[in-house]
Amino acid sequence: MLSLLRNVLFLAALSLVLLVALFLGARSCGVTPEQVEEARLLVEMNIEEGEVYRSRNGRRDGVVTLSSGLQVEMLAQGDGPTPTLEDRVVVHYRGLHLDGRVFDSSWRRAVPSVVAVKDTIPGWREALVNMPAGSQARLVVPHWLAYGEGRAGAVIGPGETLIFELELLEVLAPMEPEDPPPADPMQQTVPGIG
């Protein structure tokens, strides 16, 4: 019985030491409980703001809300080929916060972007595989089809619904996989692998 009591006291003391170490470790990283709570509230606020915006936007003429939650307003209908997930595309785009602030723009840089469709955010992927080249669309992308509840760099907050003005200029073939570089004859192989 005495050894059981010692074990329980030891585990309680160890738990307390680990809890204090965890708390001090978090403090040394600069994350306080208040900051964690503020971040959680920011996510909730951004999600709620996005829901209100999408609700209003979905009632506008010409806006189609897809089953995924993506809202699409076709501004111009092209007649070129429609890309697949494996294709690359040449696009011009403008990314905006719900208040209209621009966070990125290929038009501002005056250079279109070349991207692999499969490497874009889910909202773009869904729109691109349904847009013929030459089309322009305005997308309202809910957070779950954009960057989720995390941040994207320093310009996109957690849980943000985003607006994209997207112009599909051209569909390119997928990139051919590059041949691996020739093996270095001076390197030795790992035994059992090759």
Q: What is the pLDDT of residues 95-144, one digit of tens each?
A: 999 999 999 999 999 999 999 999 999 999 999 999 999 999 999 999 99
pLDDT reported for residue 43: 86
pTM of the prediction?
A: 0.74
What element of type H or E holds 140?
A: strand 136-141
Q: What per-residue confidence (pLDDT) applies to 128?
A: 97
Grouped pLDDT means (10 residues each) for the chain, 194 residues = 64 61 63 78 92 97 97 97 96 96 95 96 97 98 92 86 98 79 65 58
pLDDT for 130 equals: 97
Write down all domains in the chain, each with its CATH number in brackets.
35-172 (3.10.50.40)
Bridge partners of residue 91, in order along the sequence: 113, 168
Query: How many H-runs (helices) and E-runs (strands) does the chain carry?
Result: 4, 7
User: Which run of H or E residues covers position 67?
Assistant: none
